[in-house]
Chain A
């Protein structure tokens, strides 16, 4: 058990005008799992990801990562924890325009002063896996959206973090680029045994994962487990659940 969330509540706004986004969520994620959080807009999925990944703080409740309560950690410990154990892929690419693709990807290794040869090895491994090795000398302004997204993903994987948080990683991609990124993520999940927690509203993307958690109005609505099924049948079940939550029937 790598992540354990206990009764997480999160609300925004002031005393008079308060919106409760998360109304008490309990969630456990095992090491090496690939979990997707789904839900309609406003259901609180991104907020849940932010809270679990230490970017945002909770209003009440606890988040344990490897039995350490990160809601109680000091800033310095938290930074250390992000440095060693976490990787992020965002919907916006969050790349530094002033650095090349390679420099961007190597940032997490730079700050921990990894040996050059080791860094080079890791870079080659990850970038070839994500098909961006040949772009290493280019600047972000010179490459396409999908390539930026993959650069961003490579940066999240390079230091082999225990957990990778991905917020709509395929949001800006066409379906081909999206599926190639997702299968790469799945492979990396297997290869380096990272735990992946992804937020998406795209059922195709969700079908790459092992477990899908549906949120509705700040609460967990249901959970689907892929098990031994094929990706296709898993996809269908996700679609069905989605239409039940959204109240919209989907015709096939």
Chain B
């Protein structure tokens, strides 16, 4: 029997042990291939107005994906190498050179790689259909998803994975070169990190970690106050939370667990043996990995939350900036389109809305910096031009108060607001604030709008001082479609030689598609992050279960049942998976809380949805780990 047949036999017999590694590979291929395939789907690209944005989004997403995949596959490979230590050592003992062993590894990996690539591409093809449907749904594009297979996507995927393959072989070669034969023979016995005790240093570090995280959180709560050095504060928060997280894992967790252990005074139960002590030893050496997991979780949850918030808020954001279905720059333009619509027998309502600007002060206005007698400039609109708003004589309603503006400015209802200029002033009672805009944004110029009764408006109008030097528009020309506006009407008006205009439905479509792509790409990358961190933790648990096999054996010989041992291990899995998750969730909450208003006007529903989905998916990996432990314990005796 030649040596090659020995190697092949060994390989195929061992295939069961390689399953994990193959899974990692297939998973990565699926991820990448479906992503590439989707970005090259012509039928979708044609249909979508913002295809430029789409391709940019996909490019950024694919670069991130490559980074994640590379890190993930290399991690899996290093675990895989460690498990095969003794086999490789034996080959060296009987006289194979490093080069020959590397050749074996290349051969084996090539088989694994090639089959994973084929499987992955097949799966990826199926997944990409589903994913594309999700994407189009998010972008609110009606399009049936066909079956496009792109050879170019296959080639692109193949090139990437050949590149990764080369890197892995370099990794293997370095591993072989650097590991002494003696340490390979004894490696699997020395996995337990040396235990350096719970000194005063650990305690200080542990406290420091918690303090750093809390001060990071505190800064994020009060970020508005640091407007002038915002960037500096942002980096400060990042630094504090990231280093704090690391220290927490390095010291705080072990410290707390040790306190619990001490309080038991030697009477350790089976739960303690399997969870507390084991975690205490491993937490320190796994500190880097676990803090990576929590930070990555926080980043993906935070980013997905932000993108979901902006997707969720598109409609109300449009409402607060765009007041009418169509807005025109000149009165003639409005008339032109009015005729056009009449010709097509589309019922509509053209409007010319006059407006004047006044300075306002009074108890009703609360500015962000707590200054009581602050003044703001308002655009005054008469009540007759604003739908759904009832204003009596002596009353005033503020319009266009979006969430972003609301951060800097607030109003006290049922208090007075005085509108004034050099010659005239009138004091009115603020009865309501409203998010929706009453004027087109290029007329309002970022100012809030005050809606007053028509009598008050005409008095203000008479006394207005028209500043000749500032050529501000005093009228807005708009058309509202009676009933629902539609893409057909927009296309009818959007002729090539027609005058310029702004359309609410067009802005909405653009924004919802943009937000849809953004959310999809971020969601996809976030999902990739989630899956890889989950897999890495799971692989880690498998490794630990191998190491602890003897412990289970001893415990079972002592008379503990499988269920009792698994109960202890469940606690361990809950702690190993749970602590990074909890820290990640906290990080996410404080990050989203600090910046959500930039992206939209609803925080809780999108954030909690994202967190809920994340927790469910993440816990699946914990559950699978427990099942694996159960199997190991059952087989240990």
Contacts and interface: CB of A to CB of B under 8 A. Distances in A.
Contacts of A23: none
Interface string B85-114: 011011011111111100000000000000
A111 B97 contact: no
B263 interface: no
Contact of A79 (B3, B14, B86, B98): B98
Contact of B2 (A81, A84, A86, A110): A110
Contact of B94 (A55, A75, A103, A108): A108
A103 B90 CA distance: 14
A83 B1 contact: no
Interface centre among A79, A86, A99 (most CB of B within 10 A): A79
B180 A110 contact: no
A106 B95 contact: no
Given A76-B98, A94-B89, A111-B96, 20 more contacts: A50-B182, A55-B181, A56-B182, A79-B96, A80-B95, A82-B92, A83-B94, A83-B95, A86-B95, A94-B86, A96-B10, A96-B87, A98-B9, A99-B6, A99-B9, A106-B1, A107-B94, A110-B6, A111-B95, A116-B1
Contacts of B2: 110, 113
Contacts of A111: 3, 94-96, 100
A57 interface: yes
A157 interface: no
B68 interface: no
Nearest to B17: A98
Contacts of B13: 98-99
18 contacts: A55-B182, A55-B185, A75-B98, A76-B98, A79-B92, A80-B97, A81-B95, A82-B92, A82-B93, A94-B86, A94-B90, A94-B93, A103-B6, A107-B94, A110-B1, A111-B94, A111-B96, A119-B1
A111 B2 CA distance: 7
B15 to A, nearest CB: 10
Q: Is the interface of B mostly helix, strand, loop or mixed?
A: helix
A234 interface: no
A214 interface: no
Contact of B99 (A56, A76, A119): A76
Interface in A88-123: 88, 94, 96, 98-99, 103, 106-108, 110-113, 116, 119
A96 B90 contact: yes
User: How many residues of B sit at the interface, in one of the four size bands?
Assistant: 20 to 34
B9 A56 contact: no
A83 B3 contact: no
A76 B3 CA distance: 18
Interface of B: 1-3, 6, 9-10, 13-14, 86-87, 89-90, 92-100, 180-182, 185
A80 B182 CA distance: 18
A55 B179 CA distance: 11
Interface string A30-73: 00000000000000000000100011110000000000000000
A160 to B, nearest CB: 14
A99 B14 CA distance: 10
A110 B87 CA distance: 16
A176 B87 CA distance: 30
Contacts of B98: 75-76, 79
A79 B96 CA distance: 6
Contacts of A96: 10, 87, 90
A112 B6 CA distance: 13
Nearest 6 CB-CB pairs, A to B? Answer: A83-B95, A98-B13, A79-B97, A56-B182, A82-B95, A110-B3
Contacts of B100: 79, 111
Given A57-B180, A110-B1, A110-B6, A98 B95 contact: no
B87 A88 contact: no
Contacts of B93: 55, 82, 86, 88, 94
Contacts of B180: 56-57
Nearest to A47: B182
Contacts of A110: 1-3, 6
B36 to A, nearest CB: 37
